[in-house]
Structure 1
């Protein structure tokens, strides 16, 4: 099973990715984890990414695509994977399409979790309090949700047009949301 898990910050993508990974016996891969692995292990890709990050810049799509492709070519993903946090824009969708074609591993589905903006704000504000996350100010949360709406949400239509989109309400009991995703897959 090869899945994307998509949705705005605070909708529960990471939680559901982990539960689905256990259910299907495949790794959940977040782009953040891939970057941290490459930085920690000082790989050539990690060194390249660090150069951008040290300047306070976003890692460009081209490098992000290389890092994801490198991860999807590893042995532990032979039976499948769940990608969390990628693709984030239309250019990354095209790059992922090319990667999957080259690797001979077609995408099974893109799971999109949904929730009202007010629920997301409440969840992330609570998370900031619990985890002490300085980056989860109301202003920062609003900005990230706006970026998602303008850059990432439009790519859901690409997967909808390909009949690959599975939309599930991200509000409710965690186990009920997982069950709904699995039933829809």
Structure 2
């Protein structure tokens, strides 16, 4: 199974690149952001709780996130693999994901971090806000999400680096060029058994 974690701060292009990877490799995309937004849109009790946390720029507790993630994996028993987008955000989440995948007799093959500087992130998010109107892209909330990434989430990378599963790709440039670089890295992961 080709299980990948696509890593990067808000606005790095994870959603755009995930859709291309799904098409090329036949993977199932699991975006915690999409899961949260679906629960919020459906006004589930979980969605209401998640909504108030996201509105404050807070991270959703691990127990909620992991339950939702496991449910999505269980829904796709014949998947060739998964692209995890926006998860894990902490080392305990990474450890829990490893345990869960191991119970399914699989593992993370590789982690790709999209490198994008803060100036570029701000430009991209401002543009995305105009187009999508996402409430989590407001200036104050965005600032908090980017700080959260650079202060907390980025510390997950050494966890995967210690397992020799981490690669970095320059996320600035033409979308097709970034995709080509990502695929070169992923093709290398696919050869590992």
Matches of 2:34 and 2:137, distance apart in 1: 19
Q: Which residue of 2 aligns with 1:132?
A: 133
Q: Which residue of 1 aligns with 2:50?
A: 53
Q: TM-score, normalised by structure 1?
A: 0.87
Q: Are the counterparts in 1 of residues 39 and 47 from structure 2 also a CA contact under 8 Å?
A: no
Instruction: Using the TM superposition, give the Cα deviation of residue 8 of structure 1 relative to its aligned residue in structure 2, in angstroms.
Output: 0.2
Change in CA separation of 1:149 and 1:124 when aligned onto 2, cut-off 3 Å: same
User: For structure 2, which runs of at least 5 residues remain unmatched after alignment?
Assistant: 54-58, 187-193
Aligned length: 180
Q: Are the counterparts in 1 of residues 36 and 50 from structure 2 also a CA contact under 8 Å?
A: no
Q: TM-score, normalised by structure 2?
A: 0.84
The alignment yields a C-alpha RMSD, in angstroms, of 2.1
Q: Are the counterparts in 2 of residues 3 and 82 from structure 1 also a CA contact under 8 Å?
A: yes
Q: Are the counterparts in 1 of residues 112 and 182 from structure 2 also a CA contact under 8 Å?
A: yes
Secondary structure of 2:152's counterpart equals helix
Once the two structures are superposed, the pairs formed by residues 29-178 of structure 1 within 5 Å of their partners are 29-37=30-38, 47=45, 49-50=46-47, 52-53=49-50, 56-57=52-53, 59-75=60-76, 78-178=79-179
Q: Are the counterparts in 1 of residues 114 and 170 from structure 2 also a CA contact under 8 Å?
A: yes
Change in CA separation of 1:77 and 1:154 when aligned onto 2, cut-off 3 Å: farther
Change in CA separation of 1:173 and 1:128 when aligned onto 2, cut-off 3 Å: same
Secondary structure of 2:137's counterpart equals coil
Instruction: Using the TM superposition, give the Cα deviation of residue 89 of structure 1 relative to its aligned residue in structure 2, in angstroms.
Output: 0.9
Change in CA separation of 1:150 and 1:91 when aligned onto 2, cut-off 3 Å: same
Matches of 2:143 and 2:38, distance apart in 1: 28
Change in CA separation of 1:154 and 1:176 when aligned onto 2, cut-off 3 Å: same
Secondary structure of 2:30's counterpart equals strand
Matches of 2:140 and 2:83, distance apart in 1: 30
Change in CA separation of 1:134 and 1:85 when aligned onto 2, cut-off 3 Å: closer
